[in-house]
Homo-oligomer: A and B are copies of this chain.
Amino acid sequence: MKLITRNTDYAMRALCHIAKQRKESVSAAEMVAALKIPRPFLRKILQTLSSEGLLRSTKGQGGGFALSRSPQKILLTDLIRIFQNTIQLNECVFKKKLCPNRNNCALKKEIDAIEQDVLKRLRGISIASLGNGHHPARSNQGKCHVHHSSVC
């Protein structure tokens, strides 16, 4: 039972990496080198992020990817929705009709409640909140070396 999959995790890293760079755009090649993610896989992920509107891409030489909105507005839940196609923890194993007792299922109610909590917390996690949103207030406090990504 994993809360996030590799897709989601890689996407998070890539987005954080882009956020840290102050460039117009960051190429897949650069991210492969920096993040040690298999190239074809990362490319696929970046393409998905593009088509989903989280990244803008520019083709051709010198091209690459850039965030299409501010890091504060890119949430972990966005990525989960994209790569894990649902965010429901509950997904009653009895699809619709089958369960005779769907409305007063005690277990379902409990899990629904837990799900609400989890969602609330997940919605608080963004690219920015993971420490690379270059908030003026927090960024690189006087140290001159670039710090490593804090997304493991």
Q: Which residues of A contact B (CB under 8 A)?
A: 1-6, 9, 12, 36, 76, 80, 84, 86-94, 99-102, 104-108, 110-111, 113-115, 117-118, 121-122, 125, 130-131, 148-152
Q: How far is the CB of A139 from chain B (nearest CB, A)?
A: 15
User: Inside 8 A of A36's CB, which chain B residues have their CB?
Assistant: 100
Q: Which residue of B lies closest to A89 (CB)?
A: B3
Given the interface pairs A87-B1, A89-B3, A152-B99, the reply to whether A114 lies near B121 with Cβ below 8 Å is yes
Chain B residues whose CB sits within 8 angstroms of the CB of A108 once the complex forms:
152
Given A12-B107, A110-B125, A121-B117, A1-B86 contact (CB < 8 Å): yes
Cβ–Cβ contact A106 & B131, under 8 A: yes
